[in-house]
Amino acid sequence: MEQKLTARSASLRILNNFDERHILDYGLANELDGRDRARVREHLQGLFRKRSYVDFLIGSFSHVPVIEMNGQILNVLRLGIYEMLFMDGTPDYAAINETVELAKVEISAKTADLVNAVMRSLQREMPNLPKPSMENRTELIATTFSHPDWMVERWVSRFGEKEAFLLMQANNAKPNHFIRVNNLKTRSENFEIRMEKAGVEFEASDWLPGYYKIDDLSTVLEKGWFEKGFCFVQDIAAAFAPTILDPQEDEIVYDLCSAPGMKAILMANMMNGTGSITAVDINAKRLERLAENALTFNAENIKIMRGDATDLSLKMADAVLLDAPCTGTGVLAKRADLRWKRTKEELDNIVKLQEDLLDEAANLVKKGGRLVYSTCSIEPEENMGQMEKFLAKYDNFELQALDEFLDEDVLSEDLMSYQTLPHTHQCDGHFGVLLKRVK
């Protein structure tokens, strides 16, 4: 008899699939109700933020070394121990019993015995849990803060230990959420009244108009304001790229690698629905979501095009936004799974792809036009290093100062780029530059 899917069993299946395919597929939880789907997301992203430390605890209480443990058993233990230690509202006995039952149903009764023994041993020692104490400094830091060794080595070398610790702590904290008012459907002052009447606590951003920091999105979700197109979730730093591109009414704009299209929708707001924004992406499923978003938010000047952004046949545009594929090391608080997907080798491949995309983007900008290159990475090779190579190749583009558009708190000393860091700016880590084609 097929067992009914629960939040725990869905979480386990998503984790197992992630280990096998390196894809985080929340679609495996689609048959659950909204509350349970939210629980799955909270459970998994929380676990990804604590995974190395949880694995250390498993190794401390299991007679089977973690490195030799069957992947499914390890994931059952990860879920149960994370829930017992870090999730509010679940008594220890319930976390143990439910995890043992999960092991029994999903794997075997023998596995359930091992899970029960490990979790009860850990429960007995809760007041005095062991702390990581490896001789290897990188391994110690990586285990304590649950980041892969290669990231730890890079960041300690670049920032020093103290600042690297602050960065990793920020990645492991509950992220700030920002929403942006959709001016194609309502005005900021009217939306503020809506939030006040609904009892939503919000803080208007000093950096950009129409942005609000909100600790709890639940009321906004319950009111259906996203579905009605009144606002959308977008980190404040993600808005910097459209802001510095500064699209004007009636311009021709290209948004490369666009899906799911929230930057395009922001630009549609900035252009008051005039002109045209061609949103390009290679992924058909993500383009479907982009089309739905454009319809929801009344962004009628967005045209959708499926294509490889390294090989496009388009006429020249007034402005081009290339929000390039990247390692995503600036968004690890919201996408904790990325830290376990990325590798040093992948960084090299992504840098090469970014170069190819920049070449294509440059060829789409007319004389006097503008090109914005942005990432949600904090790695120099993907950011200013990429720009240095680009400018050495293209003498018809010049960097432009950004102090007209953005607060100097987020700008480089020469004002020619922005770079936010989660531990410094309390938002995601984003980079961007504005280039003008001068000949």
Q: Per-residue pLDDT for the chain (439 aa), expressed as one digit of tens each?
A: 457 899 999 999 999 999 999 999 999 999 999 889 988 998 999 999 999 999 999 999 999 999 999 999 999 999 999 999 998 878 899 999 999 999 999 999 999 999 999 999 999 999 999 999 999 999 999 999 999 999 999 999 999 999 999 999 999 998 889 999 999 999 999 999 999 999 999 999 999 999 999 988 889 988 999 999 999 999 999 999 999 999 999 999 999 999 999 999 999 999 999 999 999 999 998 999 999 999 999 999 999 999 998 888 899 999 999 999 999 999 999 999 999 999 999 999 999 999 999 999 999 999 999 999 999 999 999 999 999 999 999 999 999 999 999 999 999 999 999 999 999 999 999 999 999 999 9
Angle at 222 between CA 220 and CA 223, to 5 degrees: 65
| Spatial contact of 222 and 244, defined as CB atoms under 8 Å apart | no
Q: What is the C-alpha separation between 409 and 414, in angstroms, rounded?
A: 12
The CATH number, out of the four listed (3.20.20.70, 3.40.50.150, 3.30.565.10, 3.30.70.20), of the domain defined by the range 236-437:
3.40.50.150
Domain ranges of the chain: 7-128, 137-172, 177-233, 236-437
**Domain 177-233 -> CATH class:** alpha beta
* The predicted structure's pLDDT at residue 366: 97
| Spatial contact of 399 and 434, defined as CB atoms under 8 Å apart | yes
90 token code pair: 């679940």
Q: What are phi and psi of 172, to 5 degrees?
A: -95, 0
Q: What is the C-alpha separation between 16 and 8, in angstroms, rounded?
A: 12
**pTM as predicted:** 0.94
* The predicted structure's pLDDT at residue 89: 77
Q: Please report how many Cα atoms fall inside a 13 Å half-sphere around the Cα of residue 106, on the Cβ side.
A: 26
User: How many CB atoms sit inside 10 A of residue 115's CB?
Assistant: 24
From residue 331, alpha-carbon distances to 51, 113, 355, 384, 423 in Å are 17, 38, 22, 18, 12
Q: Determine how β-strand 317-323 pairs with β-strand 252-256.
A: parallel
| Spatial contact of 204 and 211, defined as CB atoms under 8 Å apart | yes
CATH superfamily name and code, 7-128: NusB-like (1.10.940.10)
* The predicted structure's pLDDT at residue 88: 80
* The predicted structure's pLDDT at residue 2: 57
